[in-house]
Amino acid sequence: MHDKTIAELATALRGGEVSSVELTEHYLRRIESLDGCLNSLITVTAEQALETARAADDARVRGEAGPLTGVPIVHKDIFCTQGVRTSCASRMLDNFISPYDAGVVERFKAAGCPVLGKTNMDEFAMGSSNETSFYGPVNNPWDTERVPGGSSGGSAAAVAARLAPGATGTDTGGSIRQPAALTGITGLKPTYGRVSRWGMIAFASSLDQGGPMARTAEDCGLMLNVMAGFDARDSTSLERPAEDFNACLNSTLRGLKIGLPREFFGEGMDPGVARVINEAIDFYRKLGAEFVDVDLPHSGLSVPVYYVVAPAECSSNLARFDGVRYGHRCEAPKDLMDLYMRSRGEGFGAEVQRRIMVGTYALSAGYFDAYYLKAQKIRRLIADDFRNAFEQVDVILAPATPTTAFRLGEKTADPVTMYLSDIYTIAVNLAGLPAMSLPAGFAEGLPVGMQLIGNYFDEARLLGVAHQYQMGTEWHQMAPAGFE
């Protein structure tokens, strides 16, 4: 059953071909036998998953099942889950058992989805390779000597290896789309404010956004139907009418205007990635789409802007982890200052400490105007560039990453090189737009992701454009050797 998509599993459950308990047990067995070489999960919640699966089967007998009732998923370990360790892949929260559910977790519980476990990630979502985790790096199932991308690398690897049919992720600067691209799955970052941030442990509050990760655009739409919605507990949540995000799956692409940003097709892109993206463009032409060159002149500044704004917000958000209220506390502190310094020094990894220091510096007296304020002004210009582009086109197409998955340890000694892994994704977060990555081919045996960017609240159109591509290609059906 693990070769089926979420949509296919939902159909099988409705038709009585399989029960949720049987399905959940099947995935738990795969996790037990296959995750040892991937390290994609931090916590496996077998008992809770089977309890939910039994309740889902009972609900189906009573005629009370919803579209995804009984379909198992995994959650990124950044979403608080009641009674389960929620660690953010950090020593700081290694002993934290959440007393409540995040808004996203609540919604999947209400939908009747068994949760198989919590996935590994970069510590506090800070990283592009899933190598900063306190629990060790995640390996890419396509080549276990390579990274799966980050920070949602555990979620991406679990879906790619068929350990779960779907996963939740979060995207602050590309952390859904980049790992989706490097592992050959589909991942969607919704419009900022679409999905509740309540109980999603904050990294950079003006950028973080939860979203679905699955094998197909159709599956991502089904998951987003569950995830999206207003949450009064989240001050950034947007109140909008409910909609079916899969309503446009079968819409024709004839006459659709797709923008190609000149700035995303220049130097720095691997030739193999460029070849795959150009082949995807040719495919869309055959479907009747029209292509228009567009300019995003300030997009080249997105990386430096992001690495001022995001660390500034993280330095504020992570101030609460002080060894006093909850989380890691050092042994036998001499005084309050020693408690703070050693608890934070021991609890946070090197990358988190680096970003806290950068952010604190950018917000400090005398530097706020020079760095943080200026970065926010450029951020507005980046958003304006997209706004101007969408006056000419319906969707923007670009590569998701400049290269395929790189080797473990290849970039850990050079943070700047690591940061450039997100060069094609960061601008979208700064503007708050929806975007997704979907598998478009292979370069030297490794997956390549194509990025589609939409206008605000245009997720349904994005999913339709992606679905039409997947109906005519087979890249999303490919499984890594040993995980078929």
| 8-state DSSP, 115 | E
Catalytic residue flag (residue 19): no
Catalytic residue flag (residue 151): yes
Strands 257-261 and 395-399, how do they pair?
Answer: parallel
Q: Out of 76, 118, 189, 411, which one is annotated catalytic?
A: 76
Burial per residue of 63-79, b for 16 or more beta-carbon CB atoms within 10 angstroms, e otherwise = eebbbbbbbbbbbbbbb
- How far is residue 3 from each of residues 71, 175, 257, 438, 446, measured CA to CA in Å? 14, 25, 34, 18, 20
Hey, is 79 helix, strand or coil? strand
Catalytic residue flag (residue 76): yes
Residues 470, 217 contacting (CB under 8 angstroms):
yes
Q: Out of 151, 237, 302, 343, which one is annotated catalytic?
A: 151
CA atoms within 13 A on the CB side of 398: 32
What is the edge-to-edge ordering of all strands in the sheet holding 446-454? 41-44, 115-119, 73-76, 166-170, 210-214, 186-189, 435-443, 446-454, 395-399, 257-261, 290-294
Q: Out of 98, 175, 315, 421, which one is annotated catalytic?
A: 175
Closest residue by Cα to residue 389 from 456, 483, 300? 456
Whole-number Å distance between alpha carbons of 214 and 223: 9
Tokens standing for 298? Answer: 């300030």
Q: Which one-letter amino acid corresponds to residue 431?
A: A
Q: Given CA atoms 341, 344, 348, 351 in this order, what sign does their dihedral have?
A: negative
Q: In 20-163, which ranges are E strands? A: 41-44, 73-76, 115-119
Closest residue by Cα to residue 478 from 447, 456, 452, 453? 447
| Positions marked catalytic | 76, 151, 175
